[in-house]
Structure 1
Amino acid sequence: MEQVPGDPQGPAGRDPSSAPSLPRCYRHPDRETGIRCVRCERPICPECMVSASVGFQCPECVRQGSGTGHAPEANRPRTIAGGTVAADPRLLTKILIGINIAVFILVQVRGQALVDQIALLGQAQLPSGSVAGVAQGEWYRLLTSMFTHQAVAHIAFNMLSLWWVGAPLEAALGRLRYLSLYLVSGLAGSALAYLLAAQNVETVGASGAIFGLFGATAVLMHRLRLDLRPVIAMLVINLVITFAWAGISWQAHIGGLVAGVVTGYAMVHAPRRHRALIQYGTCAAVLLVVVVLTLIRTAQLS
């Protein structure tokens, strides 16, 4: 939903006729409105607006999206980022939470031996005597560490945060764009932790990806002209905890946050004509940075 700045009645003490006029509803030309359809961007008044997963749609776009048969691709309901509106707009977030919980259960069953195999680790000698880590070619650790938790409090806090911020963001972006954002944010956090953290310290947790979701949420709320104070307050609290408490990977949090802001901006601000190219091109650019940082650190450790 987009609201055009201005008050149709004009500020107090000012001649209303001198105030800038708002657009008029395309179905009711006598009614001014600050609301636009999120799909076709035509002005719509309160009588014409139909609630969508994000913002409002006009009656024509709703009919095109819910008609019988196979609607043309251009007429299907779309999110603000151009993604397909799904029947369950929170399904992917549920799956991600399920994967994290499943890995947590495996860690509780197999113990530290499993953590040593999948945690983010630069380079270290394991109790078994073998040398392991990303520097040894185990790049998969950049990904597997994103789904690994050891403590109950750690996974509980992360999964609550993932549901609180991830579910609405998935509905706003669409599944594929949301998954891309989640993965590139998490990988960026892992890459920065690998670059800056001690080589023999294991790093685990979904926090890097979740910080990326926080950053993208702030960008989305700014795009929709919503109140940013709740998400900014949450970010500030989490950043204070990140730097105040020992044992927290600030590198992963900052890396994920920066990647989330950059990718999120591309997701919600890309022009419609080249939207997919810009969105996924930005994801590819972030992944390229991840590869470069990983190569630089690997060269240092080698």
Structure 2
Amino acid sequence: MIMHVEPIETAYKYNAVFFLILINLTVFFLDHFLHFDLTFLYLNHGNPQWYQLVTALFCHSGWEHLSGNLFFLYIFGKLIEEEEGELALYSSYLICGLGASIASVIFLETDLHSLGASGAVFGLFTVAVLIKLSWEWRNLLEILILGQFVLLKMLNEAQLLEQADNVNRIAHLGGAIVGVVMMLLLFWFGRR
């Protein structure tokens, strides 16, 4: 007797999101535990080097800063990687983060340094919501849940924009806006 057995589908491993998390953890470990002087990777607003626009996305000031960013990178990064693949996640992270860094250099004082993945992560917020756009009821429910969270986060950041608390809200808003623009361009040019 010959039986046809369907292959067991293997679970997707989310390589990109875990790779981005691993890079962030490695840089943090080198900077804070092994005490390598990585401040040259931070975004220097007074004299920004081209590479700092990207390297600052992987540097964090402390564990709480890193932990919050990695939590949201994991949640929203998985959504993007699951829906669109590894390249989409890498591209979204880097493009939104680059936009956040550029906005920081343009709009913030020159005596500051910026670091952290939060500008890129805020971009992932908007990308994760917009990739779900469809009339399928599950997607509409996800958009409702994710969209209200993202909208509230954005409104909160805009309201606290003038608060002096060492939080780069310009990067948060800049990353989110770049995420929206990127997705609109993809929709416009027929990708979706």
TM-score by length of 2: 0.81
Alignment pair present for 1:252 and 2:175: no
Return closer, same or farther for 1:200/1:111 CA change in 2, 3 Å cut-off.
farther
Match of 1:160 in 2: 71
Return closer, same or farther for 1:91/1:182 CA change in 2, 3 Å cut-off.
same
Map 1:274-289 → 2, pairs under 5 A: 275=191
Once the two structures are TM-superposed, the CA of residue 242 in structure 1 deviates from its matched residue by 6.6
- Find the partner of 1:121 among 33, 44, 47: 44
Match of 2:140 in 1: 226
Alignment pair present for 1:193 and 2:107: no
Alignment pair present for 1:208 and 2:114: no
* Distance in 2, Cα, partners of 1:155 & 1:269: 35
Larger radius of gyration: 1
Match of 2:25 in 1: 101
Return closer, same or farther for 1:106/1:168 CA change in 2, 3 Å cut-off.
same
* Distance in 2, Cα, partners of 1:196 & 1:233: 27
Match of 2:180 in 1: 261
Which of structures 1 and 2 has the larger relative contact order (alpha carbons within 8 angstroms, sep 6+)?
A: 2
* Distance in 1, Cα, partners of 2:83 & 2:188: 13
Return closer, same or farther for 1:112/1:234 CA change in 2, 3 Å cut-off.
farther
Q: Which runs of 5+ in 1 are unaligned?
A: 1-62, 67-85, 124-132, 280-302
Once the two structures are TM-superposed, the CA of residue 222 in structure 1 deviates from its matched residue by 2.3
Residue correspondences, number: 177
Match of 2:3 in 1: none
* Distance in 1, Cα, partners of 2:159 & 2:117: 17
Once the two structures are TM-superposed, the CA of residue 88 in structure 1 deviates from its matched residue by 3.1
Aligned partners of 2:54 and 2:97 also within 8 Å: yes
- Find the partner of 1:238 among 136, 153, 169: 153
Aligned partners of 1:90 and 1:168 also within 8 Å: no
Return closer, same or farther for 1:92/1:268 CA change in 2, 3 Å cut-off.
farther
After superposition, what is the alpha-carbon deviation per residue over 1:177-227, rounded to whole angstroms, capped at 9, x for unaligned? 221121110000000001011111111110111111111112122235422
Aligned partners of 1:219 and 1:264 also within 8 Å: yes
Equivalent AA in structure 2 for residue 120 of structure 1:
L
TM-score by length of 1: 0.53
Aligned partners of 1:242 and 1:248 also within 8 Å: no
Aligned partners of 2:158 and 2:173 also within 8 Å: no
Map 1:1-302 → 2, pairs under 5 A: 88=12, 90-109=14-33, 111=35, 113-115=37-39, 117-123=40-46, 133-134=47-48, 138-223=49-134, 225-227=139-141, 228-239=143-154, 240=156, 243-244=159-160, 246-267=165-186, 270-271=189-190, 275=191
Aligned partners of 1:90 and 1:170 also within 8 Å: yes
Aligned partners of 1:92 and 1:170 also within 8 Å: yes
Aligned-residue CA RMSD in angstroms? 2.5
* Distance in 1, Cα, partners of 2:90 & 2:153: 22
